Structure 1
């Protein structure tokens, strides 16, 4: 599959693109340049509050690997909060934008381009925490890729480290055909992110920006319990799941789920 430098090109059948390796080509430069309009850094910071900072501190984490840096939002927030952060992403366009965003805010990112499936080939260190945010894990279309990536995250964590991984509430989309509210994650005005096609093997989202600029992402619709099971099968001892930053929620309500997976051995580790 080839994509031009100016626009995305999925070929004759866009629904046929169910391939992990497509993610780099999906984030074309023009899409990346608009991405922060979708997030709205100030709106996102207000909606999530200090959830990630507080969670990391509660687990004693100081050294953090942000494996899905994107345009740098969480890396910059954690640097401001005093964490030692390494910022990784598989997309060179995203990394370049993240570095630029951080410099504008008087921070210098320590960056690395890395594919999660071979993370420890490019990242040669151990961390108190790995964060994989922004619905990024959904780019892995193959179960072997998902298991490999989680194993790589696990391997780069210290013995008592944690993984924080989020995902869109695909259960609601698959079962109830509920459109996401975007109250917490995508806070930009005049930007629309809507599901264009959803089945058990593909969630295709359409992103509309001012000026009739339209982009798409083809993602795998992860079910919550499936992700919890994978985390435990890879070796994480306890998985606590939050809905839009709340531990108590109804499954159909949250826009996003956030899984906090602990590596430390605990007696009777349960999914929560």
Structure 2
């Protein structure tokens, strides 16, 4: 998949995303599970919007992402906000040498961009290595319901003043996966003409039970599985599933 064009459109397209809810959910989970310390690793940090918000909330943040374009936006955003946030270009399933953290997060369904269970497991194992004893891993994923009943075979459109898109989603070749095909039309500020950008994205998810098995295989204790930013167990129609897991303290 490509992020070369999408990286510079991402924040404009996602301006209604509830980033504050992820920060609040992190703080509540850290308090609930008695996580100590403020060193936070944001895995798949994208354009750094959450990284900056975590820094504003008092965390010492390190971010990583596979896309150099996303990281360029993230570094610029951190500099403009006055925060010294180190960002690294790494595949989340192959992260190494980043230091030790109190909390690691993988938000905005970023984990769904991995193609296989093996990559998910390797990501959990990498997070485990980078967490201190007693550290906390927090992440969210799209539900099986959302993949198969909201995304699959659906079309989404946007016709804004300076940007428009057509977003087609198709059932993927793997169970509980989708292929996203996006076409953007972006107006040039100087000429007023529109340029076309095409993106292809893949996402795949698994059942909560499967994620829990992979977490336990990586060495984590699973603390909670909830849905849609609420302290409630997932239902058949939940769209976003949240996990809190801890590295044993001994």
Aligned match for 1:98, one of 56, 69, 74: 74
CA contact (8 A) 1:203 1:221 kept: no
CA contact (8 A) 2:43 2:63 kept: yes
CA contact (8 A) 2:144 2:176 kept: no
Shift of 1:205: 2.0
Q: In the alignment, what sits opposite 2:119?
A: 145
Q: In the alignment, what sits opposite 1:178?
A: 150
1:53 aligns with 2:23: no
Q: Which whole-Å deviations, capped at 9, do the CAs of 1:9-61 have from their partners, x for residues lacking one?
A: xxxxxxxxxxxxxx5xx212x11111112321x64235556212332344223
What does 1:112-261 align with in structure 2 at a 5 Å threshold?
A: 112-120=88-96, 122-123=97-98, 125-174=99-148, 177-179=149-151, 195-198=169-172, 199-200=174-175, 202-207=177-182, 209=184, 211=186, 213-261=197-245
SS at match of 1:50: helix
The 3 A distance-change label for structure 1 pair 162 and 48 is closer
Shift of 1:137: 1.3
How many residue pairs get aligned? The number is: 229
Structure 1 CA distance for aligned equivalents of residues 82 and 166 of structure 2: 30
CA contact (8 A) 2:234 2:241 kept: no
Structure 2 CA distance for aligned equivalents of residues 254 and 65 of structure 1: 27
Q: Which whole-Å deviations, capped at 9, do the CAs of 1:62-88 have from their partners, x for residues lacking one?
A: 111111110112111110011111111
Q: Which has the higher strand share?
A: 2
Aligned match for 1:63, one of 17, 35, 39: 39
Structure 1 CA distance for aligned equivalents of residues 89 and 54 of structure 2: 19
The 3 A distance-change label for structure 1 pair 138 and 250 is closer
The 3 A distance-change label for structure 1 pair 238 and 142 is closer
The 3 A distance-change label for structure 1 pair 60 and 100 is same
The 3 A distance-change label for structure 1 pair 191 and 82 is farther
Shift of 1:213: 4.6
The 3 A distance-change label for structure 1 pair 191 and 32 is same
CA contact (8 A) 1:165 1:260 kept: yes
Structure 2 CA distance for aligned equivalents of residues 166 and 192 of structure 1: 26
1:35 aligns with 2:10: yes
Q: In the alignment, what sits opposite 1:269?
A: none
Q: In the alignment, what sits opposite 2:55?
A: 79
Structure 1 CA distance for aligned equivalents of residues 100 and 82 of structure 2: 26
Normalised by the size of structure 1, how large is the TM-score?
A: 0.74
Which sections of structure 1, spanning at least 5 residues, go unmatched?
Answer: 1-22, 181-188, 267-272
Shift of 1:167: 0.7
Q: Which whole-Å deviations, capped at 9, do the CAs of 1:161-187 have from their partners, x for residues lacking one?
A: 01112111134433xx2349xxxxxxx
